[in-house]
Every structure is written in C-alpha cells, then in structure tokens.
Amino acid sequence: MNKYLAELFGTFWLVLGGCGSAVLAAAFPDVGIGLLGVSLAFGLTVLTMAFAIGHISGCHLNPAVSIGLWAGGRFDAKELVPYIIAQVIGGVLAGGILYVIASGQAGFDAASSGFASNGYGDHSPGQYSLTAALVTEVVMTAMFLIVIMGSTDKRAPEGFAPIAIGLCLTLIHLISIPVTNTSVNPARSTGVALYVGDWAVAQLWLFWVAPIIGAVIGAWIYRSLIGSNSE
C-alpha cells in the first residue's frame, strides 16, 4: 500500500508543481516565469520526488512510464492497474487544489484560460495539427523511457538517475510546450482536463494513447537495441 500512496502523492506534486507553475506563474505580470520556468518546474517535481519516494515506489508518477517499464521487463504486470489508479487520483486531486487556488482570482475561467490542459488544433499553444501533436507525444515519451531505463540500469552511475530524468523532462517541455502544452503523462493530462471539461476532455484520448505508444516504443528500443533489461 505504501507504494501506491507514494505514487499518489508523487503525481499530486508533479501536477500541482508543473501545472501550478503554468496556471499561476507563467504569465504573472512583470515576473512571469514563461516557458522556461514551466519546463524547469516540471523537471524539478520529478527530481525532488525521485529522491523522496524513488526508494518506495520507483517514482513512476505516470501511467505511460509504468506501462513502458512493464514492456521493458522492469515492472510487474500485476502492479500496473493499482499504480495507474493511484497516479490518476493524485493528478485529479492536484487539479482540484489548483482549481480552488486559481478560482480565487477575479475573472478566472478554466475553459477560456485552458488551465494548463493539453490540446491540438485550435487548442494547441502554437495551433499545431493532430498529426503534429501525435508525433510529438509519441517521440517525446519514447525518449523519456530511454532515458529512464538507461539512467536506472545497474550499469549506469549510481545516484544520478533522478537528475537525468528530471532534466530530460525539462528538455521535453522546452521542445513541446508550443505543440501540445506537453503531456507525455496521461495522469497529468487527466488531472487538469476534468476541470476544464468540453474540448479538454474531448481531446484527452490523444494524451493517453500517444504517450502509451511512445513509452512502449522507447522501452522496446532500449531493451532490444541499446541494452538489456538490467535493473
């Protein structure tokens, strides 16, 4: 049970820290942190939680990562459903806390502001197409899994995996925020989309399907072409 609670709290922190920075601080007058700040915030959530709970649950914080690690021979199939449920609950709880905070500002409207939701077409920050969003999410998640599996391989230098993984997520956001607002994580996408409803929920399918496909591809690449399934 401790593993599932760790995943819940870890995903809560990821969504609150990452999406919170986008909703509350990205464009704050005069001192907004912008794309760079939001990217760094997402990376820091994973970095801090990897050190805090990595020894308890492995710090997946992401259904796609759990599925990818299973595909790569690093994770037991019987743990998949409980991990995914815990991650989604953590994301939705964080979205709720963030919604309460953000709605304290006069004129706040989740639907019109986007509430850090992921989207394509008219709801992409850069108006990128469905195809562009699909390719971006698949490729970025695949690369994320390669970094995760490589940095946690027993042949890799010990103790540095959280840094590599956190910086990888930062880089992924720097590349892809303009395209999809960056998901690579179905729990992160679900955690805020439910409070927006409408278009965010209608487009949510992509941010489950693409990251999962990308994670499986990344795990296959690492396991088959780069290295063994060493833990």
Residue 89 lies in a domain: yes
Which residue type, as a one-letter code, is found at position 85?
A: I
Q: What is the CA radius of gyration of the chain?
A: 17
33-92 pLDDT tens trace: 888 999 999 999 999 999 999 999 999 999 999 999 999 999 999 999 999 999 999 999
In a domain, 37, yes or no: yes
The reply to whether 210 falls in a domain is: yes
Q: Does residue 93 fall inside a structural domain?
A: yes
> What CATH code is carried by the domain that includes residue 36?
1.20.1080.10
| Amino acid at position 69, single letter | L
pLDDT digits (tens, 9 = 90+) for 132-156: 999 999 999 999 999 999 999 988 8
Alpha-carbon distances, residue 90 vs 6, 12, 75, 185 (angstroms): 10, 4, 20, 13
3-state secondary structure of 141: helix
Global pTM value: 0.92
Domain that includes residue 168, residue range:
3-226
Q: Are 60 and 66 in contact (CB under 8 A)?
A: yes
Domains held by the chain: number: 1
231 falls within a domain: no
